[in-house]
Amino acid sequence: MKSVKLLIVMLLVSVGTLAFGQNTISLQSADLRVSGTSTLHDWEMKSSKASGSLKGNVSSTSVSSISDINVKMPIKTLKSGKSGMDSKAYDAMKADKFSNATFELTSAKKSGNGWLLNGYFTLAGKKKSVSLKVSETTSSGVVTLKGSYPFKLSEYGVKPPTAMFGSIKTGNDVKISFTVKFK
Reply yes or no on whether the pLDDT at 13 is more than 80: no
Average pLDDT over residues 156-183: 93
Amino acid 104: pLDDT:
99
- Report percent pLDDT > 90 for the chain: 83
Question: Which residues in the chain belong to E strands, given as ranges?
Answer: 23-38, 43-47, 51-58, 63-74, 100-111, 114-123, 126-139, 142-152, 162-163, 168-182
Q: How confident is the model at residue 166 (pLDDT cuts 50, 70, 90)?
A: confident
Pick from 148, 138, 176, 177: which is nearest to 25 by CA? 138
- Which residues, at least 6 apart from 177, have a Cβ–Cβ distance to it below 8 Å? 32, 33, 35, 147, 148
Strand 100-111 and strand 114-123: the pairing is: antiparallel
Pick from 81, 83, 70, 84: which is nearest to 30 by CA? 70
So where are the chain's domains? 22-182
Q: How confident is the model at residue 24 (pLDDT cuts 50, 70, 90)?
A: very high
Give residue-wise pLDDT tens across range 59-86: 999 999 999 999 999 999 999 999 999 9
Amino acid 20: pLDDT:
54
Query: How much is the mean pLDDT over the chain?
Result: 91
Instruction: Please tell me the distance from the alpha carbon of residue 25 to that of residue 68, in angstroms, as a whole number.
Output: 10
pTM: 0.87
Please state, in angstroms and as integers, the Cα–Cα distance from residue 139 to each residue in 3, 144, 147, 148, following that order: 42, 8, 18, 22
Any idea what the Cα angle at residue 177 is, between residues 84 and 91, rounded to 5°?
Answer: 30
What CATH code would you report for 22-182? 2.40.128.110
Give residue-wise pLDDT tens across range 103-148: 999 999 999 999 999 999 999 999 999 999 999 999 999 999 999 9
